Amino acid sequence: MSGIIIVWSVTIAQLVLVAAMACALLRLVRGPRAQDRILSFDALYVGAMLLLLTFGMRAGSTVYFEAAVVVALLGFVSTVALAKFLMRGEVME
């Protein structure tokens, strides 16, 4: 019983998260400006991180957690670097 509930809810959640990532990807392609693309990239990596967590629940292991942490870290650093780049045209001071 509980196995069925978990498998179904995880599957639906994964489909919903993939749809969310697809929306963000569409905005990423559409633009129109660089800041829109960076914003949708930000949303994209949050979706990827949540998707990794649902994979971890499906497999019943916590290994995916580390991957999710790495995705979150890389996403934050790249978003900040890109936003900084927009402001000055150069990343480092």
Neighbours of 33 (CB within 10 A): 9
Residue keyed to tokens 């001071």 = 93
Of the residues 63, 87, 90, 92, which one makes contact with another protein according to CB under 8 A: 87
DSSP 3-state assignment of 90? coil
Sequence-distant (≥ 6) Cβ neighbours of residue 35 within 8 angstroms: 83, 86
Counting contacts by CB under 8 A, is residue 74 touching another protein?
no
Counting contacts by CB under 8 A, is residue 6 touching another protein?
yes
Contact assessment for residue 79 and residue 85, using Cβ atoms and an 8 Å cutoff = no
Of the residues 67, 74, 79, 90, which one makes contact with another protein according to CB under 8 A: 79
Please report, as ranges, the residues that interact with another protein according to CB under 8 A. 1-3, 5-10, 12-14, 16-17, 19-24, 26-27, 33-36, 38-40, 42-43, 46-47, 49-50, 53-54, 56-57, 60, 62, 65, 68-69, 72-73, 76, 79-80, 83-84, 86-88
